[in-house]
Amino acid sequence: MLGLDFINQTIALNPSPISDSIKNLDLSKIDFLILNEIEGQEISGEKSLNRILDHLLSNYSFFKIVLTLGPNGVIYRENVQEHKQEAYNAKAKNTTAAGDTFLGYFLSMISQKHDVKFALTVASKAASLAVSRKGADY
């Protein structure tokens, strides 16, 4: 049926840059919350990684959370699984757009029906390549 394709869509939110208005959003329709450690601290009010993830899942049990940690990799957590992906070793020349690169590759892999672990691997490799090159601000 024409016009009903939106019914089975996956919605991802990347609250970047973080602002107070994001804290007041209705997040009940979000499937993937993709954020960095600073954004996680702001939204949850927690400081440690586990407490950030626990807080978010206790309030939004349906979330699939992707918490990026820069050179320390990324943690994916939902109610039934957790995956950790180490960052790939890269000599960073510029970190501009590293998060955007990660986000784009991760969502591309997920939309192509790849599993989360593979999506994290591809996205992490892409982000490491991005930081090893002159960035968007050169």
Strands (E), 1-138: 12-13, 32-36, 64-68, 74-77, 82-85
Instruction: Give pLDDT tens digits along the chain (138 positions).
Output: 455 555 678 899 999 888 888 888 888 889 999 999 999 999 999 999 999 999 999 999 999 999 999 889 999 999 999 999 999 988 878 878 888 999 999 999 999 999 999 999 999 999 999 888 876 665
The question of whether 100 is a catalytic residue gets the answer: yes
Q: What is the CATH number of domain 10-131?
A: 3.40.1190.20
- CA-based end-to-end distance of the chain: 47
pLDDT given for residue 2 in this prediction: 52
How do the domains of the chain map onto residue ranges?
A: 10-131
Catalytic residue, chosen from 31, 54, 100, 115, is 100
